[in-house]
Homo-oligomer: A and B are copies of this chain.
Amino acid sequence: MAEETNIQEAFQAVMAANGDIPPKQQQVLAASLELFAQQGFANTTTKQIAQKAGVAEGTVYRRYKTKDELLAAVLAPFVTQVLPRLITEFAEGVVGRPYLTRHEMIQSIAEDRLAFIQKNGPILRILIREISVRTDLRSQFITHAGPLLQENLFPVLDRLKARGELVDWPDSRIAQFMIGTMLTELVRTLLVPEDIEKAIPTIIKFLEKGLAPD
């Protein structure tokens, strides 16, 4: 299954951010990730996790003392490390280019980010779903992601706007359109199986035109 491959990769990202973890615990984490993504956190039982991970139910609780901690272990490194790295990497890529065009910026963002969305679809699904349900997670996310955008993306947008390369809307609205449009792909793959790759050029064009100055 292609689905499987995605999860493996998404799992790598979380693993990498989680330090040294013994193999059985990795299986637990991987199984949780997959099941949470498929069925949602609340609909997943620790028994299912244990079965899919091929371990005893008690093993699930060795490292993560509650089911909530397991969710945190899946999401936290993603929010606090993977996501930030993604955003700052983008900034680094465009920061030294004073004559960046709107096209270049959007392409630079969209290509990387869409590949990222594809790879991390499962985690993103969990994240979005749980953010809409858990107040604590929501505020934690806002605290982390807000400043990151403000420091890395907004200055770039401002520069483009100053040079008449970008429509003069508030940064947060532009970000909303950019991120939102890319996430529609996540929804689309849920309803209609489709390769994200093919959508990339169209998405880039759509954003490029939609965000052009009047």
Contacts and interface: CB of A to CB of B under 8 A. Distances in A.
Interface of A: 39-40, 42-43, 125, 128-129, 131-133, 138, 141-142, 167, 169, 172-173, 176-177, 179-181, 183-184, 187-188, 190-192, 199, 202, 205-207, 209-212, 214
B181 A40 contact: no
Nearest to A207: B210
A180 to B, nearest CB: 3
A206 B190 contact: no
Given A42-B42, A129-B129, A206 B211 contact: yes
A209 B213 CA distance: 10
A187 B209 CA distance: 23
- Copy tally for this chain in the complex stands at 4
Contacts of A187: 128, 180
A205 B209 CA distance: 11
A180 B191 contact: no
Contacts of A169: 202
B177 A133 contact: no
26 contacts: A39-B133, A40-B42, A40-B129, A40-B133, A43-B133, A129-B133, A131-B190, A132-B190, A141-B191, A142-B191, A169-B202, A172-B192, A173-B202, A176-B184, A176-B188, A177-B181, A177-B184, A177-B206, A180-B183, A180-B187, A181-B181, A181-B184, A205-B214, A206-B210, A206-B211, A210-B211
B138 A191 contact: yes
Given A40-B40, A138-B191, 8 more contacts: A129-B132, A129-B133, A131-B190, A176-B188, A177-B181, A180-B187, A183-B184, A209-B212
